[in-house]
Amino acid sequence: MTLHQNLIAGEWVGGDGIANVNPSNTNDVVGEYARASAEDASAAIAAAKAAFPAWSRSGILERHAVLRKTADEILVRKDELGRLLSREEGKTLAEGIGETIRASQIFDFFAGECLRLAGETLPSVRPNIGVEISREAVGVVGIITPWNFPIAIPAWKIAPALAYGNTIVFKPAELVPGCSWAIVDILHRAGLPKGVLNLVMGKGSVVGQAMLDSPDVQAITFTGSVGTGKRVAMASVEHNRKFQLEMGGKNPFVVLDDADLSVAVEAAVNSAFFSTGQRCTASSRVIVTEGIHDKFVAAMGERMKGLVVDDALKAGTHIGPVVDQSQLNQDTDYIAIGKQEGARLAFGGELISRDTPGFYLQPALFTEATNAMRISREEIFGPVAAVIRVKDYDEALAVANDTPFGLSSGIATTSLKHATHFKRNSEAGMVMVNLPTAGVDFHVPFGGRKGSSHGPREQGKYAAEFYTTVKTAYTLA
Ligand code: ADP
């Protein structure tokens, strides 16, 4: 089997590989991927540092061309890359291809942003002096990504980093190196100069940690767990570096008495269970007012019966497997905790077997949960959700906001008054009305509040805030 190597200073290097295994069929090895050492990470950082002066001054057409070619190639190869994604991560083929198309759109958007770089000029408060405000590249950016969006998250960090003139050391998640390797290969062939983008696949505790400990990394953008996010923050403060964190969520989805029942059920099922519940924007707290509660729970049960859990690559699968054994253990542990805490497991939650050995779990819905239970407070990151019964809208809003997290939130209602009030008062970075809590556009800001996020928003033109630093220059006329 061919070994997919790391890219350091424009060369493919590294010998020691590990197998990338398909969670739908653990007998299927997707490929062999090299494992970088801490020394490789240092070499990658040195290469990115050396490449920075020239790349940060490169012409906007050069950057545009690389990003544009990358967008085009990803789109042409969407079926193949989408399949690779579903094979290594376990989301359905439709979701894998959809995410691949989105990655292409992100590169296309930032190709355009290269041509729209602008500053401001304004008069000084002192006579005969002009002021220019411009954005400059930050330097070497460390990119650390999780396994749940193997192509979209790398794309939405790499594309703006390059567009604004930064150089990169990129460490993808251990479980899903395939899509990351593929987009780095595409960007490399699209004409990036040596050292501008370096790929170091490997362990977080080794390669990621080497990035955190380096004084030559000027910024780190991270998506992953709360625990690792805190390490990134602490190390970054130590090195006086810029950092951006996207961590967990415990996103609420509110269903009011006046909701359209089918809209509410569709949005709740999508929020809780699609992509196997492995989205930081997934909803695992469904907060339902008492007038619609029983009807809603019954309709959820009916809808859940129709969900097909099977091999991600099979036509007709709605929910793929859980990503690996340790995540599956976490999901089943939380199902046991929910029962112990006194919630009622109304539907699903069983381990199931299919034609191939994989990590298959029937989506689980608890009822009679309270917001104080661990299943309502801690991120599970699987197809497990809990219904919390409340009296009215005011209680629903209070419960929705009573969480340490604040990434996304949703409400199902036909009341303009409640929808408007919820949009204004939900303590989340993204609010959805009559839509699932997950499923966001690539051209508008993504990010949360409270324990979910730190630093400027990602995506769209707001990405410039993180990937550039502002300069204010004064000139005497
Ligand atoms: P999860 O696997 O639950 O998404 P993690 O925070 O463990 O969350 O992983 C997110 C990313 O952070 C992965 O690429 C992982 O390898 C990386 N990572 C884990 N530990 C460290 C660390 N000590 N330093 C830097 N990166 C790390």
| DSSP assignment letter at 5 | P
| 3-state DSSP assignment of residue 57 | coil
Can 88 be counted among the known catalytic residues? no
Q: How many residues does this entry show for the chain?
A: 477
Give 13-26 as a DSSP string.
E---EEEEEETTEE
Confidence of residue 410 (pLDDT cuts 50, 70, 90): very high
Given a cut of 90, is residue 153 above it in pLDDT? yes
CA gap 321, 340 in Å, rounded = 25
Q: Is residue 16 part of a domain?
A: yes
Catalytic entry in 88, 99, 246, 458: 246
Rounded mean pLDDT, 185-209: 98
Task: Kindly report the protein residue whose alpha carbon is nearest to atom 9 of ligand 1.
Answer: 224
Helix residue spans in 349-391 (DSSP H) = 374-377
Domain match, 272 and 342 both: yes
Domain match, 351 and 374 both: yes
| DSSP assignment letter at 118 | -
The CATH number for 104's domain is: 3.40.605.10
Task: Kindly report the protein residue whose alpha carbon is nearest to atom 7 of ligand 1.
Answer: 225
Domain match, 19 and 144 both: yes
pLDDT digits (tens, 9 = 90+) for 229-262: 999 999 999 999 999 999 989 999 999 999 999 9
> Strands 408-412, 11-13: parallel, antiparallel or unpaired by DSSP?
unpaired
Ligand 1 centre and the CA of 83: distance in Å? 24
CA gap 367, 381 in Å, rounded = 18
Ligand 1 centre and the CA of 89: distance in Å? 16
Alpha-carbon distances of 107 from 102, 137, 157, 330, 442, rounded to whole Å: 9, 18, 10, 34, 10
Domain enclosing residue 256, as ranges: 251-433
Domain match, 332 and 209 both: no
Q: Which atom of ligand 1 is nearest to the CA of 211?
A: 25
Q: Which atom of ligand 1 is nearest to the CA of 203?
A: 16
Q: Is residue 405 part of a domain?
A: yes
Domain match, 222 and 326 both: no
Contacts of 309 (CB under 8 A, 6+ apart): 317, 318, 319, 320, 321, 352, 354, 360, 361, 362, 363
Tokens of 303: 């809808």
Task: Kindly report the protein residue whose alpha carbon is nearest to atom 16 of ligand 1.
Answer: 204
Contacts of 320 (CB under 8 A, 6+ apart): 23, 24, 86, 90, 91, 92, 95, 275, 276, 309, 310, 311, 312
Ligand 1 centre and the CA of 431: distance in Å? 27
Given a cut of 90, is residue 228 above it in pLDDT? yes
pLDDT digits (tens, 9 = 90+) for 247-304: 989 999 999 999 999 999 999 999 999 999 999 999 999 999 999 999 999 999 999 9
Domain match, 201 and 271 both: no
> Strands 25-34, 17-22: parallel, antiparallel or unpaired by DSSP?
antiparallel
Contact yes or no for 253/355 (Cβ under 8 A): no
| Domain count along the chain | 2
Q: Is residue 153 part of a domain?
A: yes
Q: Identify any residues that bridge with 130 across adjacent strands, giving them in sequence order.
A: 123, 475
Contacts of 94 (CB under 8 A, 6+ apart): none
Dihedral sign (CA 207, 212, 218, 223): positive
Ligand 1 centre and the CA of 204: distance in Å? 5
Instruction: Say what the pLDDT of residue 16 is.
Output: 83
Tokens of 133: 């405000």
Q: Is residue 440 part of a domain?
A: no
Task: Kindly report the protein residue whose alpha carbon is nearest to atom 14 of ligand 1.
Answer: 173
Reading phi first (left if > 0) and then psi (alpha if -120 to 50, else beta), residue 157 is in: alpha
Confidence of residue 477 (pLDDT cuts 50, 70, 90): confident
Q: Which atom of ligand 1 is nearest to the CA of 174?
A: 16
Domain match, 181 and 304 both: no
The secondary element (H helix, E strand) that includes residue 88 is helix 78-89
Across all residues in the chain, what is the average pLDDT?
98
Ligand 1 centre and the CA of 229: distance in Å? 8
- Ligand 1 surroundings by CB, under 6 angstroms: 144-147, 171, 173-174, 204-205, 208-209, 212, 224-225, 228, 231
Domain match, 295 and 230 both: no
Q: Which atom of ligand 1 is nearest to the CA of 235?
A: 24
Q: Is residue 266 part of a domain?
A: yes
Instruction: Say what the pLDDT of residue 223 is.
Output: 98
| Locus of tokens 């034609």 | 355
Q: Is residue 444 part of a domain?
A: no
Domain match, 255 and 238 both: no
The CATH number for 379's domain is: 3.40.309.10
Task: Kindly report the protein residue whose alpha carbon is nearest to atom 20 of ligand 1.
Answer: 204
Domain match, 223 and 281 both: no
Q: Is residue 130 part of a domain?
A: yes
Confidence of residue 1 (pLDDT cuts 50, 70, 90): confident
CA gap 253, 246 in Å, rounded = 20
pLDDT digits (tens, 9 = 90+) for 451-467: 999 999 999 999 999 99
Using the CB atoms, write b or e for 159-196: b if 16+ within 10 Å.
bbbbbbbbbbbbbbbbbbbbbbbbbbebbbebebebbb
Q: Which atom of ligand 1 is nearest to the CA of 226?
A: 6
| Locus of tokens 């409270």 | 450
Q: Is residue 446 part of a domain?
A: no
Ligand 1 centre and the CA of 146: distance in Å? 7
Give 128-170 as a DSSP string.
TEEEEEEEEE-SEEEEE--SSSTTHHHHHHHHHHHHTT-EEEE
CA gap 469, 477 in Å, rounded = 25
Instruction: Say what the pLDDT of residue 171 is.
Output: 98
pLDDT digits (tens, 9 = 90+) for 353-365: 999 999 999 999 9
Confidence of residue 101 (pLDDT cuts 50, 70, 90): very high
Domain match, 374 and 412 both: yes
Helix residue spans in 342-476 (DSSP H) = 374-377, 393-401, 416-425, 464-467
Rounded mean pLDDT, 98-106: 98
Given a cut of 80, is residue 15 above it in pLDDT? no
pLDDT digits (tens, 9 = 90+) for 313-329: 999 999 999 999 999 99
Ligand 1 pocket check: which of 89, 143, 144 to mutate, most ligand atoms within 8 Å of Cβ? 144
Rounded mean pLDDT, 429-458: 97
Ligand 1 centre and the CA of 225: distance in Å? 7
With CA atoms as reference, report the closest residue to 407 among 176, 245, 229: 245
Task: Kindly report the protein residue whose alpha carbon is nearest to atom 3 of ligand 1.
Answer: 225
Task: Kindly report the protein residue whose alpha carbon is nearest to atom 18 of ligand 1.
Answer: 204
Alpha-carbon distances of 311 from 20, 48, 242, 276, 321, rounded to whole Å: 17, 40, 41, 12, 7
Rounded mean pLDDT, 157-171: 98
Domain match, 211 and 288 both: no
Q: What angle do CA 255, 258, 261 make, to 5 degrees?
A: 65
| Locus of tokens 């309502």 | 376
